[in-house]
Structure 1
Amino acid sequence: MDLDEAEDWAWCDAQFAAVEAYVKAQNIPHGVICDWPEWYTAPYVGLWAVEDPADPGFVGHWVLAGDTTGVQPQPVPFDFLSAEDCAEPREALAAFAHKWAALAAAALKGTAWTGSPLVHGDLAQSAAQLARQAQLLKLWAEDDEMWEQD
């Protein structure tokens, strides 16, 4: 699905509101929530930086936010990670991929997870979906062309 520039902007604006609400609902310590994703592929998923309130100007957490428009039949779930071990967006995307792959593998063995990411419905189906999404995040994180500086 290709969006034109106006649709792209509108999607990111809508996502920002959802990210802001998610950060507050999850009680993630924060200063400024960046108003534009550090990385995204609209209308599917975006990676958002959340400022560390104890260290203004630096990322404290990363939020991975799936589409909130209701268009996607299997949207990427919202999740967050501390930026302590992943200061750069590419590292954060790889960390989400690793976390989700591990959660999916455990769930496929019958171990349910609690907390983030929030998933609903059948555990095996959710695990399979999360595993597919983890593979895609991993591919994106490994794609050097996606991370080239302009």
Structure 2
Amino acid sequence: MCMIGVLPMVLFSPVLGDWEFYLLLVLYLNKDFLNGQSPLKRLLDTQVQQETDTPANEWQCFLRNTTFITWPLEILAVAITGRRRLGDYVANTQVADVSKSTDSWRKELAAYRVTAYTFYTLIGTRLYSLLLYALFSWLGF
């Protein structure tokens, strides 16, 4: 997913501008917020879960995705462990197969309720974006 999503973001950011890059970054960091499933995970019937086999909360999904910047290490971690990537160790999560949900994402979105984890995720996303902006500015990008 990193190769598909992040590499084009970096390549096209000079053409698109900074704000588009950071918008895509926010979407990428929070792609699993709804019941621990990104759109691709829904198609593949998989879900980001806690160690207790319950869906990961928004904060855990965000933490799991913050390690995208180290994607070569992510690939190495999956190659060594066979299942969990570096972000899974940071967030204490795993990706597991789930049965096909009968609810559509629209129903799940309508049933979604804001929690403290939602606010932690919003604050964390903003801080992470600012840190990346500072890093890229310091590197001259």
Structure 1-normalised TM-score?
A: 0.23
Higher strand share: 1
Structure 2-normalised TM-score?
A: 0.24
Q: Relative contact order (alpha carbons < 8 A, sep ≥ 6): 1 or 2 greater?
A: 2
